[in-house]
Amino acid sequence: MSFFAKLFGKSAAQAPEPVNEDYRSYILTATPYQEAGQWQMCGVISKEIGNETKQHRFVRADRFPSREDAVEFTLKKARQIVDLNGDRIFS
């Protein structure tokens, strides 16, 4: 069992599929997880730079009653991070 599966009490088979979105040459991935009966905002911003894939992971304290809401707001937050920081997020 993986570290995250132990931490969050889910096996990889039970974890919901991440939701991806292309945005300004970045791949935004919403990966919310259940915490205390709600969905915690969590995501990854990726971009191919040269021959390397760079990633910036983020978790926010925001929680939502449904996974759909968590995905929507995670992608919105990821777009905001890209708009404000661009490639500096990988530094």
Going along the chain from its start, the domains and CATH numbers come out as: 18-86 (3.30.160.350)
- The secondary structure element, H or E, covering residue 14 is none
Nearest to 69 by CA among 19, 28, 23: 19
pLDDT tens-digit profile of 12-32? 446 789 999 999 999 999 999
Bridge partners (DSSP) of residue 48 are 53
pLDDT tens-digit profile of 34-52? 999 999 999 999 999 999 9
Is the model's pLDDT at 6 over the cut of 60? no
